[in-house]
Amino acid sequence: MFQKIELRLSGSGGQGVILAAIILADAAIEEGKNAIQTQSYGPEARGGASKAEVIISNDEIKFPKVTECNILLALTQNSYDKYVASLSKDGILVVDESVNVNMNASFKIFKLPILDTAQNKLGTHLVANIISVGALYGLIGEEVISRDVMVRSISNRVPPVTVEKNLCAFEEGIKLIRG
The larger pLDDT score, comparing residue 72 to residue 179, is at 72
* CATH classification for the domain delimited by 4-178, as one of 3.40.920.10, 2.30.42.10, 3.40.30.10, 3.40.50.300: 3.40.920.10
pLDDT at 46: 60
Q: Calculate what percentage of the chain has a pLDDT beyond 90.
A: 85
pLDDT at 47: 64
Q: Picking from 38-42, 73-77, 122-126, which range would have the lowest pLDDT averaged per residue?
A: 38-42
Read off the pLDDT band of 1 (50, 70, 90).
low
What is the Cβ-side half-sphere exposure of residue 17, based on CA atoms within 13 angstroms? 29
Read off the pLDDT band of 61 (50, 70, 90).
very high
Q: Domains of the chain: which residue ranges?
A: 4-178
Q: State the pTM of this model.
A: 0.94
pLDDT at 42: 63
